[in-house]
Chains A and B, each alone.
Chain A
Amino acid sequence: MNYPVWEVGFGAGFLIAAVAILHVFVSHFAVGGGLFLVLTEQRARRQNDVPLLDWLKAHTKFFVLVTVVFGAVSGVGIWFTIGLIGPTATSNLIHAYVWGWAIEWVFFFVEITAALLYLYGWDKLDARLHAWYGWIYFVAAFASMVIINGIITFMLTSGGWIKTRQFWQGFFNPTYFPSLAFRFVIALALAGIYGLITASVQKEPGLKARLVRWSAWGVVPALAVLPVLGWWYIRAIPADIWASARGPIPTATHYALSAVILLGVTFLLAMLAFLRPGRMHLVFSLAVALVALGAMGSFEFVREAIRKPYVISKYLYANSLYAAKIPGDGGFSVDEVNDAGILKVAKWIQRRDPAKDGPVAVGREIFRVECESCHTADAYRGIKHYLVLRQWDQNELLAMLGSLDLMHNGVMPPFVGTDAERAALASYLITLRPVSVTSAAATDGKTIFDQNCSMCHRLKAGQPLFKSLARDPVTASKALKDLTSVSPLMPDVRLPEPQRIALAEWVNTQRAGSAAAGGSQK
């Protein structure tokens, strides 16, 4: 709203994810791979192992071509991309942390120079001097991780920064150390995984077997300790932030599951490499890398998903809205926009008058500035998909928009703006619903629950739903008639009586101790 919104047809969030995941997969290799290079060189020199040295020389070339070229450009690429999609967040991160970035740049500069000199030094330098460049490279690469990790974790757990605005308070935040350890161990594992790739193209089986075993030894122990570090990481995340990873919001839960599974598969594949190390095929090593990429991507998705609705925890929402009014926010905080109206405050919209431009066109503009940082109309996180799933009509949609911040354990920012603006947004969104969907009222309780309640309510013993809803379907149905009188936070969804009764009857079957739930009575 302060900046124009770039309309990416297939989803802005998807583009950031693609660039970021490819980058981290290479940048972590750049850290771990540095240590791998110097340790392998040390071993080869000590044992006077010429074939190992020759391989390492070729591996260095591969390393530089992957990390110095793709790694460096895609790192700049993240800057480009977040500047295009989240300029407000980027601007905040730049102004609050420019000296962190500047320090990181110094390390980056040393790192790139050392990498190139290490590569070109293979034919030129004596062993000690060559290793010296290798160590400088590794230390500089690790140091740049030390810095970036502070800023990335700050976004997830902003620590004391919210109150004090002190650089170090945000930098050394609650997840700083677990994340650093976690990422460093991932970096070590990746060093071995990339090692398998260049090892697998070796012709001579004896050498190949040694290289594969050596590389796999980099992967297996690292992956074995990773779950412990992951547990530490999760423990460090404040409960309210972590809660969204376990709630009904599918993204974080799904990706957490896939991260664990893919990590396990990577581990098994790395163990398999020990079985026939001399016969390992390039395809196998690429498969290991691909699975590891999936695991790494899933982990980053979980981190981003549990960070939602914020892009900077407790400070800035994913759609560039400040969570609380602060001096210098330009009028873009939740309260200010609610008071003034989004159509008055937003800079980069053209159609501001529902009466003149029509509510649909105006709603489209509101969608652009409030929703498009994460959603699309019908592609990535497409609204169309949700409308098919939930079967809402315009009134329900309008009611639901009022409770966005309660849905899915609070993964979304609230809708901001006036009631008329909310109505305009609803009238646009309903146009995304396919014509084939007709709100033929569902008759079975489960479907009614899924479509109307499941965004906020969970079927667990002790949940307010079970506690406050009467067991008698008719009494319950009366209470459900006007949800806002149950709680002012609830959306004003008005279901017809048969639906309300069916819903209440089905909820009874889900109560702890009921036969259908299969749970034990407490």
Chain B
Amino acid sequence: MMQPDLIPALDPNPLPAPYWVFKLLLLVTFFLHIIAMNFMLGGGVLALVLKWRSGKGRGDDQMFLDVAKKLPVFLPATITLGVAPLLFVQVLYGQFLYTSSIIMAWPWFLVLVFVTLAYYGFYYVSYRGGRERSRTGGVLLLSVILVFIVGFLFTNNLTLSQVPARWAGKYFSSPQGWSLNLSEPTLLPRYLHFFISAVAVGGLLLVFLALARWKRDNAYARQLLRFGGRSFMYATMAQFIVGIAFLLSLPRGLRMLFMGESLWATVLLLIGIAASIGAIVLMSQALRKENVRAAAFQVPALLAVVIGSMCLMRDILRDAYLKPYFQPAQFAVSTQGSVLLLFLALFLAGVLLWGVMLKRFFAGGVVYQQQSSR
């Protein structure tokens, strides 16, 4: 079955910087992308829950609007922060990703259509949320479903890119690009692992909102804290089941990497588990004591450790899958020094400017806050 010669050859251009530079950029930007994605998708799911529960007089409507109005910011953040890892993953793993994308070309192309529609849906809900209640629920549901599908397609493509042995069968049975990777045993647990992590981080979004409103509207902020904190805890607990299912679904050789065979992978897994447990304990204490600062600072700090270790494990897993076909040494390297320096300088300047832009914006008065709770 295996046809190693099916794997596309690299193009003649050398890497314009050492391998590790791209790996580092890929990991860092993917980490940021996944956080933005979690806020967007998790926020969307929780907004949907709040919409569904609303009308029972628990401030759900207000929470719903509060969250829904943030979605049109988190979706572009997800896309913008997603462009960079998409670029860097193509630099290193293009041979695999282009091929798997072509095999599932139409679904992959439809990602664009779905994202656009979901995006307009989020804007609709954010602008009309307070007014036409009957329709916002439906539009939000549709948008969230579309984002679900997009995530599912990403999981399909990324898993397919790691199993070249499956390519030929799929491509030749549908060169029109109507395949998916549904036979992949890790597909569902992997997808759920990402999805539930989004719900947990979405919970933190409400915690942050609680922090911002703590002094001005304490009763409401406590509601936000409660709902957000609980969502975070329950979702993170569920991750233990889904995470174990994901681990068990891996091929034995790869699973064992995380269970002692590779020290680095095993330590990362343990760090991830320990930090998750720590985050749950901290959150439950913060909820009991209504300590919004602990919930909004300590828990996210631990969660960042969790997500960071998960991103690293994901990378280890990919390289383990691709080990028979891919070696970093395959790349010739010829560093484009001047352009690389220019990029680094502009990148730093861009991050600084970005910080200044946000700082000046939020220092610029409270008119917007009043508007948004109108």
Contacts and interface: CB of A to CB of B under 8 A. Distances in A.
Interface of A: 2-9, 15, 65, 68-70, 72-74, 76-77, 79-81, 83-84, 87-88, 90-92, 94-96, 98-103, 105-110, 112-114, 116-117, 120-121, 123-126, 129, 132-133, 136, 165, 167-168, 322, 326-332, 347-348, 350, 368
B346 interface: yes
A95 B354 contact: no
Interface in B330-349: 332, 336, 338-340, 342-343, 346-347
Given A80-B109, A99-B343, A125-B364, A347 B6 contact: yes
Given A91-B98, A106-B347, A110-B354, A73 B119 contact: yes
Interface stretch (B55-63, B75-83, B300-308, B316-324): B75-83
B367 interface: yes
A99 B339 contact: yes
A121 B80 contact: no
A120 B368 contact: yes
Contacts of B138: none
12 contacts: A9-B176, A80-B108, A84-B102, A95-B16, A116-B76, A120-B361, A129-B364, A167-B339, A326-B12, A327-B12, A329-B9, A347-B6
A100 B339 contact: yes
Contact of A347 (B5, B103, B112, B120): B5
A83 B90 contact: yes
Contacts of B73: 116
Contacts of A88: 11
A231 to B, nearest CB: 32
B11 A91 contact: yes
B28 to A, nearest CB: 12
A95 B353 contact: no
Contacts of A368: 175
B56 to A, nearest CB: 31
Contacts of A9: 176
Contacts of B20: none
Nearest to B331: A95
Contacts of B83: 76, 105, 108
Contacts of A106: 343, 346-347, 350
Interface residues of B, number: 73
Given A4-B103, A330-B9, A110 B353 contact: yes
Contact of B11 (A15, A74, A95, A114): A95
Contact of A4 (B14, B94, B175, B346): B175
B115 interface: yes
Contacts of B336: 99, 167
| Top-6 shortest CB links A-B | A330-B9, A328-B12, A95-B13, A87-B98, A124-B368, A99-B339
A272 to B, nearest CB: 32
A109 B343 CA distance: 14
B13 A92 contact: yes
B91 A94 contact: yes
A72 B79 contact: yes
Contact of A76 (B13, B97, B112, B171): B112
Given A129-B364, A347-B6, A65 B120 contact: yes
A94 to B, nearest CB: 5
A32 to B, nearest CB: 21
A69 B364 CA distance: 26
B174 to A, nearest CB: 9
Contacts of A168: 338-339
Contacts of A113: 354, 357-358
Given A77-B112, A117-B357, A103 B343 contact: yes
Contacts of B12: 92, 322, 326-329
Nearest to B29: A105
Contacts of A322: 12
B105 interface: yes
Nearest to A84: B105
Contact of B365 (A5, A65, A125): A125
B252 interface: no
B51 to A, nearest CB: 22
B343 A87 contact: no
Nearest to A114: B357
Given A73-B112, A347-B6, 12 more contacts: A3-B99, A4-B102, A73-B116, A77-B112, A84-B177, A94-B91, A94-B94, A109-B80, A124-B364, A124-B371, A136-B357, A328-B12
A449 B350 CA distance: 61
B10 A124 contact: no
B364 A126 contact: yes
A124 B367 contact: yes
Contact of A112 (B76, B98, B365): B76
Interface in B153-176: 167, 171-172, 175-176
A500 B32 CA distance: 71
Of B73, B88, B339, most buried by chain A (CB within 10 Å of CB) is: B339
Contacts of A91: 10-11, 90, 94-95, 98
A136 B342 CA distance: 19
B123 A95 contact: no
B270 interface: no
Contacts of A98: 16, 22, 87-88, 91
B74 to A, nearest CB: 11
Contact of A6 (B105, B338, B368): B105
Of B9, B12, B367, most buried by chain A (CB within 10 Å of CB) is: B12
A112 B80 contact: yes
B339 A87 contact: no
Contacts of A347: 5-8
A426 to B, nearest CB: 22
Given A9-B176, A94-B91, A123-B367, A330 B80 contact: no
Of A113, A132, A331, most buried by chain B (CB within 10 Å of CB) is: A113
A101 B87 contact: yes
A165 B87 CA distance: 21
B84 interface: yes
Given A69-B119, A108-B80, A99 B342 contact: yes
A102 B343 contact: yes
B357 to A, nearest CB: 6
B367 A109 contact: no
B181 interface: no
A124 B5 CA distance: 60
Contact of B90 (A94, A103, A114, A326): A94
Interface in B1-34: 5-17, 22, 25
B35 to A, nearest CB: 15
Contacts of A121: 361, 364
Interface string B229-272: 00000000000000000000000000000000000000000000
A352 to B, nearest CB: 12
A10 B91 CA distance: 30
B367 A103 contact: no
A107 B123 contact: no
Given A6-B102, A7-B175, A103-B342, A330 B116 contact: no
A76 B9 contact: no
A110 B350 contact: yes
Contacts of A105: 83-84, 87
B11 A3 contact: no
A109 B79 CA distance: 10
Contacts of B108: 80, 84
B90 A90 contact: yes
Contact of A107 (B25, B116, B332, B350): B350
B288 interface: no
Contacts of B8: 2-3, 87, 330, 347
